[in-house]
Structure 1
Amino acid sequence: MTPKDRLSARPHDRIAALFRARRGVLLLRRSAAVALLLLAAALAVQHHGPPQAGVPVLVAARDLPPGRALSEVDVTRRELPVELVPDGALRDSPAALGRVLSAAARRGEPLTDARFNGPTAASGGGTVSAPIRLADPEVADFLAPGRRVDIVTAAARSEGGSVLAENTPVIAVQPEQDRRDQGRLVFVGLPERLAGEVAAASLNQTVTVTLR
């Protein structure tokens, strides 16, 4: 309706034109609201999307001490979201069985390659992990997994010490907070035939190590 028409229009026509304008505005608002709802629904579907499948990784089935040679009862598989899977995570049991932990692991903790000391240090290859306690517990502060040592008995008054094992790899060192009055346990990798002798000697004699 032009300005001239509005001046000459009757009151009835003016009211009808006003209602038509209001209906147009209302229709426009409703259309905009519907469009916004459809856009919000599309964004919600795009953001969430279908749930992503978890990644199976190997975790500790129970609390495990350092120096533990892992067996089937020590590990289990669990699915984790891909963003929570750490680098180097082990995916199946064969990758962990027979390997020796360099530090304690809590139940449910994902096991990674950094938890172990290089190649298998137990079962297989005739090598086992043997625990020893050192005559001077503070020597353990200078040891770390992978370090090579010679294991010797401390010299007695009547005779010198003797070498029990040479060039032996340190597998794990008991954490400081877990030590007892006897000192921290040190786990070393030894041939099966020698492991028993060294472990027994560490109980009956004072044992120490020399660093390589």
Structure 2
Amino acid sequence: MASKDRLGASLRDRITALFRARRGVLLLRRTAALALLLLAAALAVQDHGPPGAGVPVLVAARDLPPGRVLSEVDVKHREIPVDLVPDGALRDSPAALGRVLGAAARRGELLTDARFNGPTAASGSGMASAPIRLADPEVADFLTPGRRVDIVTAAAHPGEGSVLAENAQVIAVQADSDDRDQGRLVFVGLPERLAGNVAAASLDQTVTVTLR
């Protein structure tokens, strides 16, 4: 009997030891899995920053028309997540001030370098960007931002044409399209008072430009 008791005790010890070993392996696996999860979370925070972290970018402070020469009142800063910032996003005001929008921008719209035609408007205070439509849309094919032109009214009869402005700087040129019934829109930099007169004249007169 003593021999059987010793044999039974030895078997129980082995079974107990086996269960303990299995529990140890299971605990080790769970610990390793938890450690991997914590490491992945730490890497995610390191790569993307803490929740809600953002970077400052420039957005339109109000609805802006095409050809607008941007000033301080037209832009403001807003923070957005770093992974949502597009290439070419403007980060500070000096990068936008004095530049001319190539297309309209809605209030709150993020501004990138692709939104502008030409580097800057005509520099200096008292300057403005005047829109004109050219009588011959194909003339606009020869215009680029920075080009200097004279703005003239087309003459219905010989000697009736007149020069509206001289040595105006081309700021932006409307993209080409199949619909040219109204002529292509061109923005030119002029002194404010003259810009208003030219823009008004182009509404009821046929306007073209001569190249310098």
Deviations 1:22-71 (A, max 9, x none): 32232232223223223322332232345173111111134422111334
Q: Does 1:19 pair with 2:16?
A: yes
SS across alignment from 2:102:
coil
Cα distance change on mapping 1:68 and 1:87 into 2, 3 Å = same
User: What residue number does 2:156 align with?
Assistant: 156
What CA distance in whole angstroms lies between the structure 1 residues aligned with 2:72 and 2:65? 15
The answer as to whether partners of 1:137 and 1:183 remain within 8 angstroms in 2 is: yes
User: What residue number does 2:54 align with?
Assistant: 54
Deviations 1:78-134 (A, max 9, x none): 112334434554334465445432333344332245525334437x43321112222
The answer as to whether partners of 2:121 and 2:129 remain within 8 angstroms in 1 is: no
Cα distance change on mapping 1:120 and 1:202 into 2, 3 Å = closer
The aligned length equals 203
User: What residue number does 1:118 align with?
Assistant: 119
Return 5+ residue gaps in structure 1 as ranges. 1-8
Using the size of structure 2 for normalisation, the TM-score is: 0.74
Cα distance change on mapping 1:116 and 1:80 into 2, 3 Å = farther
Match for residue 34 of structure 2 among 34, 37, 40: 37
Cα distance change on mapping 1:148 and 1:85 into 2, 3 Å = farther
Q: Which amino acid aligns with 1:154?
A: A
Cα distance change on mapping 1:28 and 1:147 into 2, 3 Å = same
Using the size of structure 1 for normalisation, the TM-score is: 0.74
What CA distance in whole angstroms lies between the structure 1 residues aligned with 2:203 and 2:62? 29
Deviations 1:131-155 (A, max 9, x none): 2222223433443433332212223
User: What residue number does 2:171 align with?
Assistant: 171
Percentage of identical aligned residues: 66
Q: Which amino acid aligns with 2:126?
A: G
What CA distance in whole angstroms lies between the structure 2 residues aligned with 1:77 and 1:16? 72
User: What residue number does 1:146 align with?
Assistant: 146
What CA distance in whole angstroms lies between the structure 2 residues aligned with 1:208 and 1:36? 74
The answer as to whether partners of 2:55 and 2:82 remain within 8 angstroms in 1 is: yes
Q: Which amino acid aligns with 1:205?
A: Q
Deviations 1:135-178 (A, max 9, x none): 2234334434333322122233241533333332212234557x
SS across alignment from 2:20:
helix
What CA distance in whole angstroms lies between the structure 2 residues aligned with 1:128 and 1:101? 13
What CA distance in whole angstroms lies between the structure 1 residues aligned with 2:158 and 2:211? 25
What CA distance in whole angstroms lies between the structure 2 residues aligned with 1:176 and 1:109? 24
Return 5+ residue gaps in structure 2 as ranges. 1-5
What CA distance in whole angstroms lies between the structure 2 residues aligned with 1:144 and 1:184? 13
